[in-house]
Chains A and B, each alone.
Chain A
Amino acid sequence: MEPSTQNSGSAKTIRSWVLLYFDSLYSWAFYKTSSKESAEDLVQETFLVALKSFDQFEGKSTPKSWLFGILRNKIADHHRQKYRNPGIAMQQQSENSADALFGTLFNVHGEWNVAESPQPWQEERSHLLDNPDFNKTLQDCLGKLPLNWFSAIQLKFMEEKKPEQVCQELGVTPTNYWQIIHRAKLQLRKCLQINWFNG
């Protein structure tokens, strides 16, 4: 960390937050990435961002949820970066390849291709959500989504925004929005099918 330009007040406040929340932030990062190195980087970056953007913390949320919000975005970036070369405009390409998946799932009549037709999943829901390995697979699958598809998923489910808010933030029409969710979930389902349910 190189916080030399920061004033001492914010550093003192953040210091008290480290004492209070470091353990739970680190545990969460570790749980989400299954990697000591990644968890260390992410938590360190989280406090660095907190220090740099301390002005933006206006007490609208609690320090705890503010810090976890920063960390959540860092974790999402982390999973995305694994599938993206930095510096190249990957989004469109990724969306094209994601669209190509659409073409393999359905035939020209819009029916499921025989091999792609969904088969029942054997696992109990409660079992799934408690399983760190499943969580890791889910994060990886989320990381493979085109960026704006992921944003739509994140805003809808993780931030629990209303459809109107999501449309506004993403700059899309309601029809665009549910079509994005549709494609994103088709891809997620397929990814989990391959990588978790082994089909």
Chain B
Amino acid sequence: MKKKIIHLILLSCTRATELIEKKSLFGLSWIERLQLRLHTNVCDGCTIYQQQSILLDKVLRSQAINFDELSLLPQVKNEPLKQSILLSLDKASN
């Protein structure tokens, strides 16, 4: 019972991590923002989760095709495969 009351004010970690994700997608209401701040003030796990969640977002965003970065990738050649694809396309166009 005591826990329930605490969680009503301070949120559970389940709810806090939910709000952390909601925040980056849709934003939070002022009361949610306040609740989340109160929670992370006292909860190390969720504070670290929040930092890592932001890092994960950056990592995932870096998976988007970025042609500038792509050009920096080391080039790996595979001439035999390239030639075999070209050959089958030549067959197709004749």
Measured CB to CB, the residues of A under 8 A from B are 1, 3-4, 6, 8-9, 11-12, 14-15, 18-19, 22-24, 26-28, 30-31, 36, 39-40, 43-44, 47, 51, 64-65, 68-69, 72, 106, 109-112, 117-121, 125, 128-129, 138, 153, 156-160, 163, 174, 177-179, 181-182, 185-186, 188-189, 192
Q: In the A-B complex, list the 10 residue pairs whose CB atoms are closest, starting with the nearest.
A: A110-B12, A117-B45, A3-B92, A110-B14, A157-B60, A11-B93, A8-B93, A11-B92, A1-B88, A118-B48
Cβ contacts under 8 Å, B58 to chain A: 125, 129
Interface of B with A (CB < 8 Å)? 3, 7, 12-15, 17-18, 21-22, 25-26, 44-46, 48-49, 52-53, 55-65, 67, 70-71, 73-78, 81-82, 85-86, 88-94
Identify 10 residue pairs between A and B in the complex whose beta-carbon atoms are under 8 Å apart, listed by A's number: A11-B90, A23-B76, A68-B65, A68-B70, A110-B15, A118-B52, A125-B55, A138-B63, A157-B60, A174-B26
How far does the Cβ of A50 sit from chain B's closest Cβ, in whole Å?
A: 10
Q: Given A27-B74, A30-B76, A111-B13, is A18 in contact with B85 using a C-beta cutoff of 8 Å?
A: yes
Taking CB atoms, residues of chain A closer than 8 Å to B52 are 118, 121, 189
A163 interface neighbour in B7, B25, B81, Cβ under 8 Å: B25
Q: Is the CB of B21 within 8 A of A158?
A: no
Chain B residue at minimum C-beta to C-beta distance from A121: B52
In the complex, what residue of chain A is closest to B20 when comparing beta carbons?
A182
Q: How far is the CA of A29 from the CA of B65 in the complex (A)?
A: 12
Interface of A is mostly: helix
Residue on A with the closest CB to B65?
A68
Residue of B nearest to A32 (CB): B63
A186 to B81, CA, bound (A): 40
- Is the beta-carbon distance between B76 and A27 smaller than 8 angstroms? yes
